[in-house]
Structure 1
Amino acid sequence: MRTIFLAHTISMVGTVAAQVALSILVFERTGSPLLSALVLVCSFLPYALGGIVLSSIADRFPARRVLVSCDLLSALCIGLMLIPDLPVAALLGLLLLTGIIAPVFAGARAASLAHLLPRDLFPIGRSLLRAISQVTVLTGFALGAVAVAAIGPTWLLALDAITFAASAILIGVGTPYTPPGERQRNTVSDSLAGLRYIFSTKRLRTLILLTWVAPAFSSVPDGLAVAYAAQTGAAASAAGALFTGYAAGTVLGELVVARFTPATRRRLVVPLVIASQIPAIAFLLTPSIPIAAVLLAVSGAGYAFNQAIDPMILATVDPSYRGRLFTVQTSGLMAIQGLSIALGGLVGTFLKPSLTITLSGILGTTITLLITRQALDRTTRGAVTRQPG
């Protein structure tokens, strides 16, 4: 299992640093802030497409083969970006392809964890992956900016291609074989069948919805971080403290909650969901940047509620749909976070950033608690009906 976590760390650091490099490279070639910003849009937008039409790949083939293939295809896409004077449209197109591949990789990886880890350790495994992601986002952006200044964006892209290749080698050599699921139709038909199964199963639909909605609301402050810093009279660079606060809180929350028993994690679902949302309401008082960073750290720590939700999802889903479910979960999460940040930015053009964040906290607290109650009620009833008479 250490191999999977090491491979994830290597590829994540390379990917985040490469996003910085590609943004700078596009800006250097075009001088356009819009085209530079499209790098991040193209990093997130394709997740929805990959999750909808390609999710069955994670079930149709052995997980190790899917993971290695995804890494090698991503390495190829990044490698092609190194072609001299490649048009910006081609650069963005290649980035879109890596975004389509990413949710398939995430779904296959989660499905392989379900095969390789005992049921009680599965949520810990996913928690560790989330913590690694947050740490690498922090270090990747920081190191990316430094590395671009030191070696230039082209060499940093080359490093990203190498990290994908290294991840493929680690997974291919260091992970055991896991069996594929059944192939009933073609890839797209199986993917759509998976979507119908996921969203027609009420309990499963509610659990997945909770894992989407809670971070969708709590990510609004990220999208308004720069505007909020300006509102408080701080320098724009102070927004970095807000990003760091949320990410650091997420890592801390995952590490602390992982030490609890499954029963304790289950009891902490409601408090953690509340913690993920309610700090945003305090922005009505326009706290200073340091206090705002602490509030966002508390919000990030609340995201550890997933450690109780993950085993509920695993117990509810048919094993033959695991890969599709985790692919759809990942792609939907990325899509809804992007949408919520965009909507928050839109509302923030008419209202003060502090008020926009406060409203997101009020709505987030209300809606996530309603969904949490439904999820826990249905899970409890399901557990009762499965008990022998």
Structure 2
Amino acid sequence: MKATAGLPTTSRTAPLRIAAFRRFVLADLISATGSAMAPLALAYSVIEQGGGAGSLALVLATNTVPTIVLLLVGGVLADRLSRSRILFLGNLLAAVAQGALAVTVATGHASTTSIAACGFVSGAAVAFTVPAIQGAVSQIVPAEHLQQANALLRLPSNAVKVLGPVIGGLVVAVSGPAWALAWDALTFAVAALLLLGLRLDAPLAAVGSALSELRAGWTGFWSRTWLWTYTAAGTVLVAAWLAGFQLLGPLVAARHYAGARDWGLVQAAFASGLLAGTLVCLRWRPRRLLTVAIAGAAALALPLAAMGQGLALPAVMIATLLAGIGLDVAIVAWTTAFQQHVPQAELGRMSAFNNVGERLAIPLGYLITALATRTWDDRTVLTACAGLIAAASVLNLCVPDVYRINRADRPREGRLPGGRPQESERENEQA
């Protein structure tokens, strides 16, 4: 976009001078305030209608499955259609789903089936918006400002993660889950209107069928060794982290620490680490982006190892704080590397392939952990999860192609108005 011309490369807030990026950040912030409350409201919606762990598991599964199944379709569309239009429709669909859920809960007509159905629609909306997000940012912001843009996007959302669950808990406790769900629906609707105003051009003229574009996307994904090896390592890492921290963490806190109080402190340390990591990314501009992403994510092994070895709560909190810092640095570094080294015309499909692998890790990690805890105690499994994260990170760092994915601070050539890349750009940026 023309608004990006003449920005100083050293300014940490340079992307905010771009009107379209300010609109994008505002939409993300508004949506984040609702999303931070939604999980708690959803859980209590199930509980209020008499559901237990089985019902909640069903609701969560119906939200996750359509995302995994439809992600590749969303990736193809993100490379063929206007990404701003996709983001508008995806947020609008999520608003409708959450609005319908809020109404059924408020009127007392909610059931496990109706809640799961609304979750299914919301999961489908995610499948179409996720592949479009990274491509939209790189259409709006020039290459030399992408790290700052990615950090600025995470700054308000990480801040909301610290306060959102607390506020959501108060809303649910005082007024019931319906109001929190209604707020989530409203934030999706407002975000949809803001994103519609971006009016980004389609990144790629459709030259073949969707299936042929998907096959070409797989070829491009597999040809980038750094991309598929990072995705494979990330699948292991995400499975181990979620299984260890989200599943076993509360159980270990209940059995070996002071229960919910101490676990709340650990969660607060992690959220604070995420926020601190964002601030680090606003100041630090590492050259070896992919190396930093892999090393930063490896810090997730620290709190799992600390709890697995039975360390005192302060040590666990410090380890968790460092894990949050490392994770956020890793996310910003990875996103920047991905946006700079994948051509605009392929960003949607490459993002979809990457996300499919990491989202498959969620049910896989929970299933394997459930089986493992039948044989070993919780602390042993936690230590094993920490070992898996460390091993996956070390193996990923052994891939030579990783060290070729470094910062590219020069503006991309051949960008058409509205962010559409010319053919020369797609040819020259093949990684």
Q: TM-score range by the shorter chain?
A: 0.7 to 0.9
Q: 2:300 aligns to what?
A: 276
Counterparts in 2 of 1:152-163, with a 5 A limit? Answer: 152-163=176-187
Provide the TM-score with structure 1 as the length reference: 0.87
* CA distance 1:43–1:105, change in 2 (3 Å): same
Asked if 1:34 is matched to 2:54, the reply is: yes
**8 Å Cα contact 1:107-1:328 kept in structure 2:** no
Match of 1:74 among 94, 104, 124: 94
Secondary structure at the aligned position of 2:387 is classed as helix
Asked if 1:180 is matched to 2:203, the reply is: yes
Provide the rounded CA distance (Å) in 2 between the counterparts of 1:306 and 1:364.
Answer: 16
* CA distance 1:58–1:271, change in 2 (3 Å): closer
Provide the rounded CA distance (Å) in 2 between the counterparts of 1:244 and 1:24.
Answer: 22
Provide the rounded CA distance (Å) in 2 between the counterparts of 1:113 and 1:189.
Answer: 26
Unaligned runs of 5+ in 1: none
Provide the rounded CA distance (Å) in 1 between the counterparts of 2:153 and 2:367.
Answer: 26
Unaligned runs of 5+ in 2: 1-20, 409-427
Provide the TM-score with structure 2 as the length reference: 0.79
Greater shift, 200-209 or 6-15, is seen at 200-209
Provide the rounded CA distance (Å) in 1 between the counterparts of 2:358 and 2:147.
Answer: 17
**8 Å Cα contact 2:305-2:383 kept in structure 1:** yes
**8 Å Cα contact 2:291-2:397 kept in structure 1:** no
Q: CA deviation at 1:10?
A: 1.5
Match of 1:326 among 351, 356, 369: 351
Provide the rounded CA distance (Å) in 1 between the counterparts of 2:155 and 2:232.
Answer: 21
Secondary structure at the aligned position of 1:263 is classed as coil
Asked if 1:19 is matched to 2:39, the reply is: yes
Provide the rounded CA distance (Å) in 2 between the counterparts of 1:180 and 1:338.
Answer: 33
Q: CA deviation at 1:233?
A: 4.1
Greater shift, 254-263 or 108-117, is seen at 254-263
Greater shift, 44-53 or 361-370, is seen at 44-53
Percentage identity across aligned positions? 23
Q: 1:352 aligns to what?
A: 377
Aligned length: 383
Residues 302-349 of structure 1 deviation map (CA, whole Å, 9 limit, x = unaligned): 221343333433344232111122233334333324432443344234
* CA distance 1:129–1:338, change in 2 (3 Å): farther
Residues 103-134 of structure 1 deviation map (CA, whole Å, 9 limit, x = unaligned): 32122121011111121322332334345444
Q: CA deviation at 1:203?
A: 3.0
RMSD: 2.9
AA partner of residue 200 (structure 2): Y
Residues 228-278 of structure 1 deviation map (CA, whole Å, 9 limit, x = unaligned): 112314223432223232232122123213311232756745653443334
* CA distance 1:301–1:361, change in 2 (3 Å): same
Provide the rounded CA distance (Å) in 2 between the counterparts of 1:64 and 1:250.
Answer: 27
Provide the rounded CA distance (Å) in 2 between the counterparts of 1:253 and 1:379.
Answer: 24
Asked if 1:314 is matched to 2:334, the reply is: no
**8 Å Cα contact 2:73-2:128 kept in structure 1:** no
Q: CA deviation at 1:285?
A: 2.6
Provide the rounded CA distance (Å) in 2 between the counterparts of 1:264 and 1:195.
Answer: 26
Q: 2:230 aligns to what?
A: 207
* CA distance 1:131–1:362, change in 2 (3 Å): farther
Q: 2:4 aligns to what?
A: none
Provide the rounded CA distance (Å) in 2 between the counterparts of 1:270 and 1:22.
Answer: 33
**8 Å Cα contact 1:207-1:309 kept in structure 2:** no
Provide the rounded CA distance (Å) in 1 between the counterparts of 2:225 and 2:387.
Answer: 26
Q: 2:15 aligns to what?
A: none
Provide the rounded CA distance (Å) in 2 between the counterparts of 1:67 and 1:138.
Answer: 26
Match of 2:311 among 287, 295, 301: 287
Q: CA deviation at 1:299?
A: 1.6
Q: CA deviation at 1:373?
A: 2.6
**8 Å Cα contact 1:212-1:332 kept in structure 2:** yes
Counterparts in 2 of 1:343-382, with a 5 A limit? Answer: 343-374=368-399, 376-377=401-402, 379=404
**8 Å Cα contact 1:19-1:40 kept in structure 2:** no
Q: CA deviation at 1:164?
A: 0.8
Higher helix residue share: 1
Provide the rounded CA distance (Å) in 2 between the counterparts of 1:10 and 1:51.
Answer: 24
